Each structure stands twice: as C-alpha cells, then as structure tokens.
Chains A and B, each alone.
Chain A
Amino acid sequence: QKEVEQDPGPLSVPEGAIVSLNCTYSNSAFQYFMWYRQYSRKGPELLMYTYSSGNKEDGRFTAQVDKSSKYISLFIRDSQPSDSATYLCAMIGSGSARQLTFGSGTQLTVLP
C-alpha cells in the first residue's frame, strides 16, 4: 500500500466550478502538507503549504488538513482554464525532514 493515495482522475469541470482534490495518507508522522501544481511538460511548482490540521486560504485556493482522518484537500473556487494542470499532494514527516512523499497526482481540465 502506498503511503499517500491520490485519485488520478482525469477530472473535467466547466469554468467557474468549485473543484475538490483529495489525498489520503497512512503515515501518522506526516506533519507538513503541500500541494504542487504541474503544467503539461513542465516541472511541479509549490502552490500551497500547511502545517498540521486546519485550513489555509490563498486567493481562490483553500488547503484543508484533517489529521484525525489522515485526509487533505485542495479546493479551487471559480475555476479557470488556466487552472488546468496536474495537482500533486506532498507530505513531510518530522522524521524524514529531507524527503517529500508525493501523491501520484490528479489531472484537472477546466473547460471554457
């Protein structure tokens, strides 16, 4: 079983929709949670970073962490065609502070 599970999609939504992307994990040592965005044929780039449980908002993006359920989410409001990309969750545990563990990524397409 993978430490981090992510629905690969693909997910296709109309412009303006609210998008929910999710990851589950099994390692309770994970303390720091990130979302990376990867455009086609490009390297990933950091989108959001959260520590422990709770919500963090940045513009149209909200990252949510529920450590009791080992579940993290990324919400995109008023989605735009420019949001079309693959979204990867990533995590670090305090015992592995030099390595990120990535989910497999969810491919999102926002249709104009």
Chain B
Amino acid sequence: NAGVTQTPKFQVLKTGQSMTLQCAQDMNHNSMYWYRQDPGMGLRLIYYSASEGTTDKGEVPNGYNVSRLNKREFSLRLESAAPSQTSVYFCASSERRQLITNTGELFFGEGSRLTVL
C-alpha cells in the first residue's frame, strides 16, 4: 500500500522557471493538502481540497496554484519560481472533510525538496 506518493523528490529550478509537483493517494481519502516546511517555521498550509472539485487557500497561497484532478490526485504548480519558494513540500490526505471527526489525522507523503536558484 503506497499511501501518499509525491513526485519529484528533488528539483532544482532557476528563478522564473515553472514546475508542477504531483501528488497521488491510494486510500480513497476525500481531503488533500499541500504544506511547505521551512526551518523554524514548521508546516504551513499552502492550499487544500476538502473534496473533489473544490480547492481553498491556506496560510501561504501566494505564488502557487493547485488542481484537484480527481479524487486521487492533487497537484501544486509554481508559475514563476522565486528563491523564497525554496522549501520542502509535503502533500497530505485525510479520510474525512472535517478533521475534527477524524482525530486530526493527516497522512503525509515523503516530501519534495525544491531549490530555487
């Protein structure tokens, strides 16, 4: 059982380049999330999708776009990468739309390490 799979695991970009991070889950979960993790800042929510067909902004959405392609897949796009977007990106999923009914459990992928030069 793969759980949450992220690709690519590593990427180096130049300022201004674009790229898409892919995420897929095989647990039939309803909700999916994109976080970034930076030293001293913890995990910050970029965007989330409570259910197929819906997306909402999180704490730090600027410079990113997302697509909930279907129930399994949730992609994150950087249209014009900036050095401030150097980070580790995590995709996560949860079974239910309301986290408080789900013991707050998110299932995370292993992360995508992005460096923008």
Q: Which residues of A contact B (CB under 8 A)?
A: 4, 6, 8, 31-32, 34, 41-46, 49, 88, 90, 92, 94, 97-100, 102-105
**CB distance A103 to B103 under 8 Å?**
no
Task: Output the least CB separation between A106 and chain B (Å).
Answer: 11
Q: Which residues of B contact A97 (CB under 8 A)?
A: 98-101
Give the B interface residue count (CB, 8 A). 28
Q: Which residues of A contact B100 (CB under 8 A)?
A: 31-32, 92, 94, 97
Q: Which residues of A contact B107 (CB under 8 A)?
A: 45
Query: Assuming the A-B contacts A42-B110, A46-B105, A98-B31, are A104 and B97 also in contact, with contact meaning beta carbons closer than 8 angstroms in the complex?
Result: no
Chain B CB within 10 Å, residue with most, of A45, A90, A94, A97: A97
**CB distance A6 to B42 under 8 Å?**
yes
Q: Which residues of B contact A43 (CB under 8 A)?
A: 4, 90, 92, 108-111
Q: Which residues of A contact B103 (CB under 8 A)?
A: 34, 46, 49
Q: Which of B43-51, B66-74, B79-87 contacts A (4 or more CB under 8 A)?
A: B43-51
**CB distance A41 to B98 under 8 Å?**
no
**CB distance B43 to A44 under 8 Å?**
yes
Q: Which residues of A contact B97 (CB under 8 A)?
A: 98
**CB distance A100 to B106 under 8 Å?**
yes
Partner of B104, one of A4, A34, A42: A34
Partner of B42, one of A34, A41, A88, A94: A88
The complex places the Cα of A90 from the Cα of B102 at a distance, in Å, of 14
The complex places the Cα of A92 from the Cα of B94 at a distance, in Å, of 14
| Inter-chain pairs besides A4-B42, A100-B43, 5 sampled, C-beta below 8 Å | A8-B40, A32-B100, A94-B100, A97-B99, A98-B48
Q: Which residues of B contact A92 (CB under 8 A)?
A: 99-100, 104
Q: Which positions 1-45 of chain B face chain A at CB distance < 8 Å? A: 4, 31, 40-45
The complex places the Cα of A59 from the Cα of B67 at a distance, in Å, of 41
Q: Which residues of B contact A6 (CB under 8 A)?
A: 42
